[in-house]
Structure 1
Amino acid sequence: MCGIAGWVDYERDLTGERATALAMTRTMALRGPDDEGLWIEPHVALGHRRLAVIDIEGGTQPMSDGPVTLVYSGEAYNFRELRRELESHGHRFRTRSDTEVVLQAYLRWGADLVDRLNGMYAFALWDQRTEELLLVRDRMGIKPLYYAPTPHGVLFGSEPKAILANPLFTARIRDEGLLELLTTAKTPGHAVFDGMYEVEPGHVVRVSRDGVTDRRYWALTAREHPDDVPATVHHVRELLEDIVERQLISDVPLCTLLSGGLDSSALTALADRALGAGTVRSFAVDFTDESGGFVPDAMRDTADAPYVHEVAKHVGSHHADVILSSDELSSPQANETVMRARDLPSIGDMDTSLYLLFAEIRRHSTVALSGESADEVFGGYRWFHDPEAIAAETFPWMLGMSAGQALLDGELNRRVDEYVTDRYHEALDEVPRLPAETGHERRMREICYLHLTRMVRFLLDRKDRMSMAVGLEVRVPFCDHRLVEYVFNTPWSHKTYDGREKSLLRGAVADLLPESVVQRRKSPYPATQNPSYERAVRDRLSGILADPNAPIRPYVAEHAAREALRRPLGRTSLQQDRMAMERIVSLNDWLTSYRPQRA
């Protein structure tokens, strides 16, 4: 998987800046625990930390061929086909790595190589012939890449921390950055810190002596769907089989993340078929409890564990549950690690539990397949089927998450709402449409687009940071751009042909799974219901309210916070008070640790 970092400066001799370039690179050490490389020429420094997955001996980086040097993070799942095509043109290879295929593809096709790649990737490529740097990110934004223009070049890295490690960049935050922190609709290109940007998914950023330019090479488009429902279901199955087979390529141990839901269960079953019956490993997360077992809440009808175990038995996977305690979830060390991994405030126990789950998995596997993004692709969330959410003039998922703002200052809440409204209308203006599409079909195309370009990026960032903090490569088959394009242009009536959520996916994989899992209603990533975890969060909030110098204090509605603390512990607070308390605590931790200047 790996982490990359670098620096271009057309007015400075960077051969004298080795220590700084190395410091930037070493901020990526957790992403790449297996190897380190640094390549420096007068005007460019490229750093790489490697997590060895394919061609462990030969795939070291930075990798050069003639005038071109590459630092690469991710996987190109079609590298074998591309390699054969390049060999037919006379290219010769020294390694078995996909990195060298990307490098040779650039030498053959230039920047147009991006149109040929299938995978998750973020890479930087320096061409000595033109003294230009290309920064490239995959179509869906699975792998992160940030950059900060300087007066004479650019700084870049897989995560903000690489840029923050260079003294040319100062951590500053404007009002817009603060508001971005408080939303769950990721604004394309926005990196929170003033002067820092994300390379947007499906974009190439070119850095030259003339400055920085940005080109989009891929976007969702609207096309007529030619297939009826049976043909659509069949094609989805064909795509999934091909995608999973490609994403099982690995020279290191591989597993699946299993929640007992339709998405992860389908991947586990498909992986088992591709690898050979009874060979796949699977892992699930669960929590210790002090209060009598699982109780349904507004988001979750059923506990995961019974379905997880039924799928594991049905498939014959080598399964393990990772059981987390409240002490682990509220551990200051774990929470600090999560925040440092994100370079942003966490979203509470759901971040920490994901990090701890991945840390345990990493003891056994280096690569994991995840069902992330199936809900965005196939329409799995409950609000896809809620008339009120569909009709709302905002991101539909925001209706269920407003509780997280409950303890923020009223004026700040008003500004957050305005910011979200503006970002919502910007997103609507982008939606590709068919001329004859009207009514509900037109609106559902909009809803799907919002999820695929705003919500999914928020979730992919979370998955990337928590997994790479322990050196685990998580692959997301449902983000294959061929599947995304095909299903995006499938009519909503096809996507709900059986009157339920994720009809196409259910129809495509029903023969692989127990009937109970096929019929199970969507249940989000689990959150602990253990009251001792909420006590720990309340204790943290009480400490903040008692500290007049806590940096979050100007943004807190103190009366509302004290009222929340007076209410009794209860599971109903999981989606209400607790979420709001976690937000205050995590924001305070971030402001304390990162100390961003107000720009």
Structure 2
Amino acid sequence: MCGIAGLWSPTRYSAETESQAAKMADTLYHRGPDGRGFHFDPDNGLAMIHTRLSIIGLNAGDQPIYGREEDGTGNLVLTANGEFYDYKRLRGLLRTDGYEFNTKSDSEIALKLYDKHGLDFIDQLRGEFAFTIFDKEKQQLILVRDRFGIRPLFYHLGDNGFFWGSEMKAMLAHPDVSREVCPKAQLHQMMQVMVPGMTLFKDIKALKPGHMLIVTRKGDDFEVEERRYWDAEFPLDGQHDELPDEEHIENVRAALVESITFRLEADVPVACYLSGGIDSCSIIGMAAAIQQSPVKAFTISFDDDRYDEAHIATEMAEKAGADQDILTLKAEDLYGKNFEDAVYYSERTFYNTLGVAKMLMSKHVRNVGYKVVITGEGSDELFGGYAQFKADLFLHDPEYAATPAAEDMRKRNAIFSGSVLAETQISHPAFEEVMGFTPSWIQPWMLTLERIKPLLSDEFKAKLGDYDPIAAIAYSLDKSMLDGRHVLDKVQYSWIKTMLEGQILNWGGDRVDMANSLESRPAFLDHHVAEMAMRIPPHVRVRDGIEKWVVREAMKHVLPEVLYKREKFAFMAPPAHTDKKKAAEIDKLIAKWLSSEKIAKHGIFDEDKLTTSIEEYRKSDDHAANTRKDIILNHAIALHAMEDLLGAA
């Protein structure tokens, strides 16, 4: 795990370039505190930057890594962030083809595979990664991001050259990168859902998951091609793998054993995150069985019993014989500077302080002495785990529509009304066109948008014009991947392409883990597991209203009975309005970042309307309405803080 950045600027390369590259590297120290490396090529106007977190090949994995060496610099140069699994087998195969390896790093296989296969090399890479390869002979720079976007990668193409980085702050450290904020992106962040590829800054883009960017020099200019190499492709309805239940169950079990086995491999100790959900509990159980020794398990506990799952996690830890470490978080922990730090590292807003909690957990894990954790993200996305997914099954699939489970589910999940579940049904014509219905997962954010619009300033609304953010999200989806698919596949696909990368893997994953130099490895998001899961029939993923049925059955032998039978419970931190101490802490952030001066400076909100809304929130006892106001306040505070925190204001 590492940080990468760089610039390719043939017309602007100067004596200052190397010192500017050092400043870019400084911003990524948290991603790679164990060392840094540079490749400077004045003749081509190129600087490549790497900051290292040593996990594999501790004493022989420095980067950049060179290939086809002729003059000491090489015609191929690699900087990589992430892990490539099954690399030992691939190294063996490449050696039989005459390739020699200069390091013990897993990253070097990407360079050799590219040399052998060209751009088709990506099909053989397995893992979570973001990397760049410079091909001097072809005058090409290739940027690649893993299939789900587990690792971040951003880029900027402007008059002064091409820039890239694991985090935007690396690019913003260079004076030639535009800092102009995008009003459309600000609106999207206030309603939680981003358009894939969009960032807060108008001229900085995120490389989309499953894509590569091919940048070719044409004189003093660049030609840029974005190419999709993988997508979450569900089969047409009726063309899933119809197998006996036991075969599906065994396939899931075998795929997860292989994935977890790969992710346990490192030259440093590997721990696991453990919540009260079946995903992390399954990983703990399997990891203990695979390595046949106790697993270190880290659990977050909240000071609100309605949101706390630590007691269930403890039962799992005891069953697996894990060494459990519980971090208890209180109201004051989730706000103040910790809130601001989570914004700084995430580089986006968040609706819930879960991201702050996970950042504090990553700090604790590192303090205890671990650099790597295996996590459970991705199971809900691939096996139909979210309540929103089931809601659409109950609404749009005749097989489920007649069951009483829908109303029962809403009653059991009432605490999440106003956040991940909408209080009322709402639709949008763009989603009706693209998907045939408006998915339940986006409806809460549509309602949030409706509550934000009246608070916006006239100046900000004028910048937006007639822009429709919901339509932009809907039309960003590839309709060919939705047509003819089952309703469950449609909602899973639409979530994977938006919320998984933009939320779960961002402020709920890599960005807050790497804030403290901690590498997280989500075992369910191995693409071999994913491709198998997408072919499992919907009625095997969700059966009789039971989400992730096939995972439960596959993991039945390692799960406590209470967890095996338990319905999915959204993992989130208690909202501010649920506790007087939390309310007091968010009030401090409101005073700091939503002052008259700040509101006037940013021009997003009408001050009088926002102030009135905040006062109504403080007096209200409506849980759903206040939960939505909590969301708006979290976003508003973060938006006003972000530019200052990133040094871009």
Q: Same fold (TM over 0.5)?
A: yes
Q: Measure the CA separation in 2 of the matches of 1:388 and 1:91.
A: 51
Matches within 5 A, 1:444-459: 444-458=488-502, 459=504
Q: Does 1:45 align with 2:47?
A: yes
Cα distance in 2 between the residues matched to 1:545 and 1:90: 62
Matched, 1:216 2:228: yes
Q: CA deviation at 1:14?
A: 5.0
Residues 354-379 of structure 1, C-alpha deviations (whole Å, 9 max, x = no match): 11011001122100011112111111
Whole-angstrom distance in 1 between the partners of 2:269 and 2:280 = 18
Distance 2:590 2:128 in 1: 39
Give yes or no for contact 1:83–1:101 (8 Å, CA) kept in 2. yes
State how far apart, in whole Å, the 1-side matches of 2:251 and 2:313 are: 27
Structure-to-structure mapping, 1:146-157, within 5 angstroms: 146-151=154-159, 153-157=161-165
Q: Which runs of 5+ in 2 are unaligned?
A: 70-74, 397-426, 429-437
Q: Distance in 2 between matches of 1:406 and 1:207?
A: 40
Segment of structure 1 superposing worse, 161-170 or 47-56:
161-170
Question: For 2:225, what is the secondary structure of its paired residue?
Answer: strand
Counterpart in the other structure of 1:431? 481
Deviation at 1:549, TM superposition (A): 4.3
Tell me the CA shift for residue 321 of structure 1: 0.1
Contact 1:15 1:40 in 2 (8 A): no
Deviations 1:398-421 (A, max 9, x none): 333456557634275997993123
* Alignment match of 1:281 (pick from 296, 307, 310): 296
Within the candidate set 452, 456, 460, 2:505 is matched to 460
Equivalent position of 2:347 in the other structure: 343
Q: Indicate the residue corresponding to 1:562 in structure 2.
A: 615
Q: Match for residue 540 of structure 1?
A: 589
Give the AA of the match of 1:319.
Answer: Q
- 1:34 correspondence with 2:87: no
Partner of 2:327: 322
Partners of 2:643 and 2:598 lie apart in 1 by 12
Matches within 5 A, 1:508-527: 508-527=554-573
1:453 counterpart letter in structure 2? K
Instruction: Tell me, yes or no, if structure 1 residue 483 matches structure 2 residue 529.
Output: yes
Which residue of the partner structure matches residue 633 of structure 2?
Answer: 581
User: What code does the residue aligned with 2:634 have?
Assistant: E
Does 2:125 correspond to 1:117? yes
Partner of 2:452: 408
Deviation at 1:325, TM superposition (A): 2.1
Aligned residue number for residue 79 of structure 1 = 87
Normalising by structure 2, report the TM-score.
0.84
Say if 2:419 is the partner of 1:375: no
1:563: Cα distance to partner?
1.1
* Cα distance in 1 between the residues matched to 2:258 and 2:646: 44
SS at match of 1:98: coil
Matched, 1:358 2:362: yes
Q: 1:566 to 1:405 in 2, by over 3 A?
A: farther
1:88 aligns with 2:141: no
* 1:243-269 deviation per Cα after TM superposition (whole angstroms, max 9, x unaligned): 000111111121100002100000111
- Over 3 Å counting, the alpha-carbon distance change for 1:14 and 1:276 in structure 2 is farther
**Structure-2 change in CA distance of 1:129 and 1:553 (3 Å):** closer
The DSSP-based 3-state class of the residue aligned with 2:479 is helix
Equivalent residue number for residue 538 of structure 2: 492
Pick which of 538-547 and 218-227 moved more: 538-547
Structure 2 CA distance for aligned equivalents of residues 14 and 140 of structure 1 = 37
Change (3 A) 1:574 1:244: farther
Separation in 2 of the partners of 1:524 and 1:38? Answer: 43
Higher mean alpha-carbon deviation, 548-557 vs 372-381, is at: 548-557
1:580 is aligned with what amino acid? Answer: I
Preserved CA contact (<8 Å) 1:257 1:283: yes
Partner-residue secondary structure (3-state), 1:129: coil
CA distance in 2, matches of 1:267, 1:417: 43
Partner secondary structure for residue 247 of structure 2: helix
1:226 is matched with 241
- Once the two structures are TM-superposed, the CA of residue 596 in structure 1 deviates from its matched residue by 6.0
Structure 2 residue aligned with 1:62: 64
Structure 1 segment 168-187 matched on structure 2, within 5 A: 168-187=176-195
TM superposition shift of 1:32: 0.4
**1:19 matched residue in structure 2:** 19
- 1:502–1:14: structure 2 CA closer, same or farther, 3 Å change rule? farther
8 Å Cα contact 1:403/1:575 also seen in 2: no
SS at structure 2 position matched to 1:172:
coil
Q: State the one-letter code of the partner of 2:59.
A: E
Give the Cα–Cα distance (whole angstroms) in 2 for the partners of residues 526 and 455 of structure 1.
Answer: 15
Q: Which runs of 5+ in 1 are unaligned?
A: none
Query: Take 1:30 and 1:4, find their aligned partners in 2: how far apart are those partners?
Result: 12
Matched to 1:471, the amino acid is: S
Partners of 1:139 and 1:486 in 2: how far apart?
15
Q: How many Å separate the matches in 2 of 1:496 and 1:486? A: 16
Residue aligning to 2:415: none
**How far does the alpha carbon of each residue in 1:175-220 deviate from its partner, in whole angstroms, 9 at most, with x for none?**
3222232243332222231111111111111111132111111123
Structure 2 CA distance, aligned partners of 1:316 and 1:276? 10
Judging changes above 3 Å, is the alpha-carbon distance between structure 1 residues 586 and 407 closer, same or farther for their aligned structure 2 residues?
A: farther
> Which amino acid is 2:120 matched to?
D
The corresponding residue for 1:248 is 264
User: What's the Cα RMSD here?
Assistant: 2.5
Structure 1's 45 and 58: CA in aligned 2 closer, same or farther, altered over 3 A? same
Q: 2:305 maps to what in 1?
A: 294
Amino acid of the structure 2 residue aligned with 1:418 = D
Distance 1:406 1:227 in 2: 43
Q: CA deviation at 1:90?
A: 1.4
Once the two structures are TM-superposed, the CA of residue 522 in structure 1 deviates from its matched residue by 1.0
How far is 1:68 from its partner? 0.9
Q: What displacement does 1:168 show?
A: 0.8
Structure 1 residues 38-86: Cα deviation after superposition (integer angstroms, max 9, x where no partner): 1100121000000000000000011112211110000001211111110
Rounded to whole Å, the distance in 2 between the matches of 1:371 and 1:148 is 32
1:304 aligns with 2:305: no
Q: CA deviation at 1:571?
A: 6.4
Out of 520, 531, 535, the residue aligned to residue 580 of structure 2 is 531
For residues 432 and 322 of structure 1, the distance between their equivalents in structure 2, rounded to whole angstroms, comes to 41
Partner of 1:134: 142
Instruction: Name the SS of the counterpart of 1:408 in structure 2.
Output: helix
Residue matched to 1:397: 441
What is the aligned partner in structure 1 of residue 412 from structure 2? none
Q: 1:335 to 1:106 in 2, by over 3 A?
A: same
Aligned partner (choices 288, 300, 318) of residue 272 of structure 1? 288
Match of 2:326, SS?
Answer: strand
Report the Cα offset of residue 560 of structure 1: 2.1
**Judging changes above 3 Å, is the alpha-carbon distance between structure 1 residues 203 and 428 closer, same or farther for their aligned structure 2 residues?**
closer
Distance in 2 (CA, whole Å) between partners of 1:472 and 1:260 is 21
